[in-house]
């Protein structure tokens, strides 16, 4: 029940296209859903996060869509750029539990 399932494992997008990564969870106690971006040899960096009281959050080219009833959330990267090529992790946390549960990761490649 602590799992967060992420798909796809890898994604190839042309420059200017939209990248979409999906995550699903089981634990209804989760109340914080961040997305992290990780470049090779670096630690993850917080990209954007959402709480279940809203269905969408946008920051620049990055948007999280959240569907509470389906227990799913997704990251949309608009106008994808080669510099967005990285591994993306979704995560979830229950405030009372305190620990992040990570998805399996998606390797995004944006071709110029």
User: Where along the sequence are the contacts to other proteins (CB under 8 A)?
Assistant: 34, 36, 41-46, 49, 89, 98-100, 102-105, 107
Residue 19 or 44 with smaller CB distance to other proteins = 44
- Cis ω for the linkage preceding 8 (within 30 of 0): yes
Give min distance, CB of 80 to other proteins, in A. 21
* Closer residue to other proteins, CB minimum distance, 25 or 89: 89
Q: 45 or 54, CB closer to other proteins? A: 45
Contact 75, 66 (CB under 8 A): no
Q: Minimum Å distance from CB 83 to other proteins?
A: 18
Q: How far is the CB of 53 from other proteins (least distance, A)?
A: 16
Q: 106 near 6, Cβ under 8 Å?
A: yes
Closest separation between CB of residue 6 and other proteins, Å? 8
CB nearer other proteins, residue 5 or residue 15: 5
């Amino acid at each position: 029940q602590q799992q967060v399932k992420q798909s796809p494992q890898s994604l190839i997008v042309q420059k200017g296209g939209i990248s979409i990564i999906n995550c699903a969870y089981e634990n209804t106690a989760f109340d914080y859903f961040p997305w992290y971006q990780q470049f090779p040899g670096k630690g993850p960096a917080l990209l954007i996060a959402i709480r279940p009281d809203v269905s969408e959050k946008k920051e620049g080219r990055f948007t999280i869509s959240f569907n509470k009833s389906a227990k799913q959330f997704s990251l949309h990267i608009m106008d994808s750029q080669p510099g967005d090529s990285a591994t993306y992790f979704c995560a979830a946390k229950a405030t009372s539990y305190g620990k992040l549960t990570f998805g399996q990761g998606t390797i995004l490649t944006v071709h110029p």
